[in-house]
């Protein structure tokens, strides 16, 4: 039985009774929409709240995965430095996209996602969050395609270009990497996070395999049981009974193993995966931080260069100006000298009067 | 030969030494050290291992099946094995104990050079492997030791096939025509050695073959292989072709009685082969009812049942292999998971910034160690499973010998049918000749002489037919007694297999569950806390 206990961020009954502010969200009811390649799953998002920022006590909207993605990206942009709750994986192998397990796992993860946002003191204030929870489907569609359209790109492009630029210049000039800030504590933390992700990912990989093994063992036990029963049928008499006992027990075990596989998937492997995603989200924030620092550093560098240029050009200009001035004066002086030399001749003209 | 399909790192349940070293290598926890050091009756209860029948207290009859080991016993002891010490009355060991030989072993593979080696490349003479075959006959104290090569085993198998028509002669290990590089490799040689040993044991356990001269000579006569080796098909054909003209001209007319007791195929008498082929075509296709048919209803029923049995057995043995593989994978993955968690907890413990992390890590370590223990248990269980389910493969091998025995029967029948048709046609020729001769006044001396010749031929053919018929009856009797023996053996073996399989599965499952229950207790604190999404 798949439980949705993890979806409540607060128990509504107690808070409703107390009149305390509450915000309860649940993601339910996955429904396949459309056909063929364009088919997708839509979810119902039910918001129950008494907070003033929201329009009304209860709101139900229909959302799909890309809407959740939109929300995630908006929050990631606006709230840099905060660990944004992780989303379930985007791409799935075509075969599994509509398998029951996959849909249920995704639903659970999305439910967790919105509730974690709702519990976060800063993130829950987000305007985009409110839009997500309340806007009607058309508005949501528009918002989503607007944002994932071209507009995002130029800013990104410029930033990407700058990153590449600085990386290239680094390489060419042979500068070393440490454009990263690093205090020993922060570095330690970074290493910790990186290694933690590796270990968790390994554990999750094995957990996933374990689920598969349970299914395989279950299947082969079922086949074996059947074959044993058939074998017993050839024997007849008392021995047949023994065979069929063993066979049916095998089949029973197989059922149990399949159930165990499901259990493991939902209660062991998925939480592990959740942790891996969480650590990846932390890493993303660290990358943001590093990028911000680098941006700051690069801009600082630019500024210094510009200042230097300015100073140099200023100096050059002054020098030139002075030179120019100097030349002018020299000409004047020479001109004057020439004039003065002429005076004796001129003064003779004046005596004959 | 079937056992060569067993998992590479798990020798298929024979050879005591192999099993115990595997056991020792796989276990390091003190839990298992006690198991490895004790003499393991469950493992050594398996038949073809030489030392055990002597070391074993034999229980009288294979019908006294002991109760399955109680699970309480199993849970009490740290080892799931020791409880089934009581099941020493395994049918295979009983058979081994009753056999003609108390001890057979194949060991010490050593390369020897081909004597008259004419190698094209100087310095690399083709070599073959010889094995040391030691045996001790019941009632005799001395042990015989001889050196034999694989080809000698093939010869033995061929001679036995000839001598024991109608019996279920155990199939010999495969020939594997591979290049000499592979032949020399240790793994291949080890597998072959084990297979040869098992083969000899099966021969010894067979009630008719065990006491046979062929086997005795093979095991005891020192020096070069004493049994005549079979010639290859090509030279036989050539010999046959040489005789054919004389046969067709009527100079050698009849198959002699001693030839007749051997199957036509594979022999030198091409004419006989053709005749029998024609006979079988006539019976099958032309719809002509042959003079003698298989009428034994009981036999035909049994044959049909065995066919069904074989079909199911094949599919069961395939599923068994799949099951073993799935169990092995499970054990491996469980172990890998445990290892991943151990690394994770170690990392957390070392790099943690908060004490709470260390506490969590220590708790997680319980899970990790439980997973590793479960993985080991799984692998040990798999060894047991292979051992028991191998019975399915073995019986598939037995089915092969059943087919051969049934084929012996049908080819003997065919020989009889052919001879009977011969007789009939000879008789009609005589009648025609006599009729023609009587029309001529004064008798036709030429024809009458011919008639006399034909009567001679008839007499000889009658003799041959009697021999063939006797052989056919003999084979039928062999079939019958072997079928009876097989029925009993099959029941015993299957029951043993199922009991062993179920007992080992239950025992190991309990062990694994125990481990996890301990973990559940140790981490029960977490279960009580409610889930929360905050992070």
- Beta partners for A234? none
The reply to whether residue B325 touches residue A234, judged by beta carbons under 8 angstroms, is no
Interface A:B, Cβ pairs < 8 A: 112
Q: In this predicted model, what pLDDT tens digit does every residue of A102-143 receive, in sequence order? A: 889 999 999 999 999 988 988 888 888 888 888 888 888 887
Residues of B in contact with A6 (CB under 8 A): 531, 533
Higher pLDDT: B82 or B202? It is: B202
Of B308, B333, B531, the CB nearest to A234: B308
Is a pLDDT exceeding 60 seen at residue B28? no
Q: Which of B56-70, B199-213, B257-271 tops mean pLDDT?
A: B199-213
The DSSP secondary structure of B105-156, one letter per residue, reads: EEEEEEEEE-TT---SSTT---EEEEEEEEEEETT--PEEEEEEEHHHHHHH
Q: Which among B309, B319, B325 is the nearest to A234, CB-wise? A: B309
Q: What 3 state SS string does B214-257 have? A: HHHHHHHCCCCCCCCCCCCHHHHHHHHHHHHHHHHCCCCCCCCH
- Select from A112, A195, A220 the Cβ nearest to the Cβ of B322: A220
Distance of CA A89 to the CA centre of its chain: 11
- Chain B: closest CA distance from residue A306 (Å): 44
- Residue in B with minimal Cα distance to A188: B351
Give the C-alpha separation, A231 to B313, whole Å: 6
Three-state secondary-structure class, residue A25: strand
Contacts of A217 in chain B (CB under 8 A): 323, 326-327, 329-330
B96 or A239, which is more confident?
A239
How many CB atoms are closer than 10 A to CB A47? 23
Q: Which residues of B touch A280 (CB under 8 A)?
A: none
Q: How many CB atoms lie within 10 A of CB B357?
A: 13
Tell me the pLDDT tens digit for each residue of A266-290: 999 999 999 999 999 999 888 888 8
CB contact under 8 A, A203 and B312: no
- Asked if the Cβ–Cβ distance from A116 to B533 is below 8 Å, we say yes
Partners of residue B344 in chain A, C-beta under 8 Å: 199-200, 202-203
* Distance to chain B for A212, nearest Cα, Å: 9
Q: Tokens 């598969």 belong to which residue?
A: A212
For residues B482-509, give the mean pLDDT: 92
Predicted local confidence at residue B238, as pLDDT: 75
Is A278 close to B312, i.e. CB distance below 8 A? no
Confidence of residue B50 (pLDDT cuts 50, 70, 90): very low
Number of other CB atoms surrounding residue A123 within 10 Å: 20
Q: Do A231 and B309 touch (CB under 8 A)?
A: yes
User: For residue B140, how many C-alpha atoms fall within 13 Å in the half-sphere facing its CB?
Assistant: 11
Cβ neighbours around B144 below 10 Å, total = 17
CA distance B129 to chain A (A): 39
Note the pLDDT tens digit of each residue in A16-67. Answer: 444 677 788 888 888 888 887 788 889 999 998 888 888 778 888 899 898 9
List of chain A residues whose C-beta atoms are within 8 Å of the C-beta of residue B313: 231
Chain A residues within 8 A of B330 when measuring between CB atoms: 210, 213-214, 216-217
Tracing tokens 């680094």 back to the chain, one arrives at A170
Interface contact flag, B534 A119, Cβ < 8 Å: yes
pTM here is 0.72
Helices B445-522 and B355-439 pack at an angle, to 10 degrees, of 170
Cβ contact, residue pair A233, B333, below 8 Å: no
DSSP assignment, residue A175?
-
Q: Which residues of A touch B318 (CB under 8 A)?
A: 227
Q: Coil, strand, or helix at residue B224?
A: coil
* Contact between B377 and B508 (Cβ < 8 Å): yes
Alpha-carbon dihedral B200, B201, B206, B207, rounded to 10 degrees: 110
| Cα(A110)–Cα(A92) distance, integer angstroms | 15
Residue A199: its chain B contacts at CB < 8 A? 340, 343-344, 347
Pair of tokens at residue B403: 């087919």
A93, burial (CB in 10 Å: exposed 0-12, middle 13-18, buried 19+): exposed
Asked if residue B384 lies in contact with residue B504, where contact means CB atoms within 8 angstroms, the answer is: yes
**pLDDT band at B322, cuts 50/70/90?**
very high
Out of A192, A210, A227, whose CB is closest to B333? A210
Q: Within 13 Å, how many C-alpha atoms sit on residue A279's CB side?
A: 19
- The confidence band for A146, taking pLDDT boundaries of 50, 70 and 90, is confident
Nearest CA in chain A to B375: A210
Task: For residue A287, give the H/E element and its range.
Answer: helix A270-351
Closest by CA position to B433, among listed B423, B422, B443: B443
Which residues from A are below 8 Å from B498, CB to CB? 242-243, 246
- Chain-chain contact of B351 with A224 (C-beta, under 8 angstroms): no
Contacts of A210 in chain B (CB under 8 A): 330, 333-334, 337
Contacts of B501 in chain A (CB under 8 A): 246
Cβ distance of A210 and B308 shorter than 8 Å: no
Q: Are A12 and A48 in contact (CB under 8 A)?
A: yes
| Nearest chain B residue (CA) to A5 | B531
Q: Which of A177-191, A309-323, B19-33, B485-499 has the highest mean pLDDT?
A: B485-499
Structure tokens at A110: 């999305």
pLDDT exceeds 80 at position A177? no
Contact present, B169 and B406 (Cβ < 8 Å): no
Chain B contact set for A228 (CB, 8 A): 316, 319
A226: closest chain B residue by CA: B316
Which pLDDT does position A346 carry in this prediction? Answer: 63
Sheet holding B127-137, edge to edge: B101-113, B127-137, B143-149
| Distance (Å) from the alpha carbon of A112 to chain B's nearest alpha carbon | 7
Indicate the range of A250-259, B267-276, B406-415, B525-534 predicted with least confidence. Answer: B525-534
Predicted confidence band at B64 (pLDDT cuts at 50, 70, 90)? very low
Nearest CA in chain B to A271: B533
pLDDT score of B498 more than 80: yes
Closest chain A residue by Cα to residue B335: A206
Cα–Cα distance measured from residue A181 to residue A293, given in angstroms and rounded to the nearest whole number: 7
DSSP SS3 for A62 = strand
Contact of B262 with B162, CB cutoff 8 Å: yes
On the question of pLDDT at B334 being above 90, the answer is yes
Measured between CA atoms, the residue of chain B closest to residue A269 is B337
- CB contacts of B490 in chain A (<8 Å) are 235
pLDDT at B30: 38
Helix/strand/coil percent split, chain A, to 5: 75, 10, 20
Identify the DSSP state of A174: T
Contacts of A256 in chain B (CB under 8 A): none
The interface predicted TM-score of the complex, written ipTM, equals: 0.74
Residue B316 and residue A234: Cβ atoms within 8 Å?
Answer: no
Distance from CA of A107 to the nearest CA of B (A): 15
The pair of three-digit structure tokens given for residue B274, joined into one six-digit string: 């053709």
| Greater pLDDT, A57 or B339 | B339
- Residue B172 backbone zone (phi > 0: left; psi -120 to 50: alpha; other: beta): beta
Tokens of B346: 């170690």
Please answer yes or no on whether B533 and A112 come within 8 Å at the CB atom: yes
Q: What are the pLDDT digits (tens) for B102-151?
A: 788 888 878 777 665 555 555 556 677 888 888 888 877 888 888 888 88
CA distance A303 to chain B (A): 39
Q: What pLDDT is attached to residue B19?
A: 39
Nearest CA in chain B to A193: B351
* CA distances in angstroms from A8 to A5, A19, A48, A104, A113, listed in the order given: 6, 17, 11, 17, 12
Q: What is the maximum span of chain B, computed from C-alpha positions, in angstroms?
A: 131
* Nearest beta carbon to residue A278 from set B340, B495, B535: B535
Q: How far is A202 from chain B (nearest CA, A)?
A: 6
∠ CA B503-B194-B79, nearest 5°, is 30
Q: Calculate how close chain A gets to B33, using CA atoms only, in Å.
A: 28
To the nearest whole Å, the CA of B507 is away from the closest chain A CA by 15
Q: Which of B341, B490, B533 sits opposite A203 (nearest CB)?
A: B341
Distance from CA of A20 to the nearest CA of B (A): 19
Q: Is A246 within 8 Å of B501 when comparing Cβ atoms? A: yes
> Which residues does chain A have within 8 Å of residue B326's beta carbon, measured at their own beta carbons?
213, 216-217, 219-221
Q: How far is B490 from chain A (nearest CA, A)?
A: 9
Residues in A closer than 8 angstroms to B491, CB to CB, are 235, 239
* pLDDT score of B189: 83
Please tell me which residue, B345 or A35, carries the higher pLDDT value.
Answer: B345
Element (H, E) at B268: none
């Amino acid at each position: 039985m798949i439980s949705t206990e993890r979806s409540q961020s607060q128990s509504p009954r107690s808070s409703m009774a107390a009149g305390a502010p509450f915000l309860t969200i649940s993601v339910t009811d996955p429904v396949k929409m459309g056909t063929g390649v364009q088919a997708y799953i839509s979810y119902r998002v039910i918001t129950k709240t008494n907070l003033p920022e929201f329009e009304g006590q209860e709101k139900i909207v229909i959302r799909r995965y890309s809407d959740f993605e939109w929300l995630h990206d908006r929050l990631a942009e606006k709230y840099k430095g905060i660990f944004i709750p992780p989303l379930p994986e985007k791409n799935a192998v075509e075969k599994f996209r509509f398998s029951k397990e996959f849909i249920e796992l995704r639903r659970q993860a999305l439910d967790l996602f919105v509730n974690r946002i709702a519990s976060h003191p800063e993130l829950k204030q987000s305007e985009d969050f409110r839009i997500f929870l309340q806007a009607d489907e058309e508005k949501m569609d528009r918002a989503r395609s607007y944002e994932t359209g071209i507009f995002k790109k130029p800013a990104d492009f410029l930033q990407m270009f700058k990153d590449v630029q600085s990386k290239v210049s680094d390489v060419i000039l042979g500068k070393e990497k440490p454009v990263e800030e690093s205090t020993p504590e922060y570095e330690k933390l970074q290493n910790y996070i990186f290694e933690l992700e590796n270990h968790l990912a390994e554990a999750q990989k094995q957990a996933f395999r374990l689920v598969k093994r349970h299914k395989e063992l279950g299947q082969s036990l079922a086949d074996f049981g059947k074959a044993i029963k058939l074998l017993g049928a050839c024997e007849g008499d008392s021995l047949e009974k023994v065979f069929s006992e063993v066979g049916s027990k095998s089949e029973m075990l197989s059922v149990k193993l399949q159930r165990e596989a499901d259990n493991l998937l939902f209660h062991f492997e998925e939480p592990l995966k959740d942790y891996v995603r969480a650590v990846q989200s932390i890493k993303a924030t660290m990358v943001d931080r590093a990028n911000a620092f680098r941006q700051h550093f690069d801009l600082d560098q630019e500024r210094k260069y510009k200042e230097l240029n300015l100073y140099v050009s200023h100096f050059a200009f002054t020098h030139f100006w002075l030179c120019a001035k100097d030349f002018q004066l020299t000409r004047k002086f020479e001109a004057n000298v020439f004039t003065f030399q002429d005076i004796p001749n001129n003064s003779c003209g004046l005596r004959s009067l | 030969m079937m056992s060569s399909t067993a998992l590479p790192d798990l020798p298929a349940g024979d050879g005591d030494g192999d099993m115990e070293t595997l056991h020792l290598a796989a276990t390091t926890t003190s839990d298992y050290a006690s198991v490895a050091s004790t003499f393991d009756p469950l493992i050594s209860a398996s038949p073809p291992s030489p030392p055990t029948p002597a070391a074993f207290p034999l229980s009288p009859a294979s019908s006294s099946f002991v109760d399955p080991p109680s699970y309480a016993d199993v849970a009490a002891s740290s080892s799931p094995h020791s409880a089934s010490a009581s099941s020493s009355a395994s049918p295979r060991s009983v058979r081994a104990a009753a056999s003609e030989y108390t001890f057979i072993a194949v060991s010490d593979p050593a390369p020897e050079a081909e004597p008259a080696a004419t190698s094209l490349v100087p310095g690399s003479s083709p070599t073959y492997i010889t094995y040391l075959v030691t045996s001790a006959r019941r009632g005799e104290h001395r042990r015989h030791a001889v050196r034999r090569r694989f080809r000698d085993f093939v010869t033995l198998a061929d001679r036995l096939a000839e001598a024991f028509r109608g019996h279920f002669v155990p199939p010999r290990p495969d020939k594997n025509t591979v290049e000499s590089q592979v032949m020399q490799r240790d793994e291949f040689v080890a597998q072959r050695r084990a297979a040869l040993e098992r083969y000899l044991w099966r021969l010894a356990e067979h009630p008719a073959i065990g006491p046979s001269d062929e086997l005795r000579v093979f095991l005891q006569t020192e020096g070069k292989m004493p049994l005549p080796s079979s010639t290859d098909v090509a030279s036989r054909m050539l010999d046959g072709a040489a005789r054919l003209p004389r046969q067709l001209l009527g100079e050698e007319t009849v198959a002699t009685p001693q030839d007749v007791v051997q199957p036509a195929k594979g022999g030198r008498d091409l004419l006989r082969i053709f005749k029998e082929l024609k006979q079988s075509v006539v019976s099958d296709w032309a719809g002509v009812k042959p003079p003698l048919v298989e009428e034994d209803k009981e036999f035909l029923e049994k044959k049909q049942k065995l066919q069904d049995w074989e079909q199911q057995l094949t599919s069961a043995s395939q599923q068994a292999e799949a099951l073993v593989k799935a169990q092995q994978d499970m054990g491996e993955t469980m172990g890998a998971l445990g290892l991943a968690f151990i690394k994770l907890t170690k990392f957390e413990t070392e790099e943690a910034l908060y004490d709470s992390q260390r506490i969590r890590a220590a708790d997680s370590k319980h899970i990790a160690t439980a997973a590793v223990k479960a993985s080991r248990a799984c692998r040990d269980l798999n060894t047991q499973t292979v051992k028991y389910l191998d019975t399915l493969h073995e019986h598939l091998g037995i089915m092969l010998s059943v087919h051969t025995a049934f084929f012996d029967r049908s080819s003997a029948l065919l020989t009889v049918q052919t001879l009977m048709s011969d007789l009939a046609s000879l008789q009609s020729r005589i009648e025609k000749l006599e009729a023609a001769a009587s029309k001529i006044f004064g008798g036709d001396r030429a024809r009458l002489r011919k008639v006399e010749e034909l009567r001679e031929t008839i007499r000889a053919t009658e003799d041959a037919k009697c021999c063939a018929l006797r052989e056919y009856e003999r084979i039928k009797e062999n079939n019958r007694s072997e079928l009876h023996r097989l029925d009993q053996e099959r029941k015993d073996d299957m029951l043993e297999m199922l009991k062993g399989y179920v007992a080992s599965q239950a025992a190991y499952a309990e062990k694994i569950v125990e481990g996890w229950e301990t973990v559940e207790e140790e981490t029960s604190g977490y279960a009580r806390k409610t889930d929360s999404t905050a992070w």
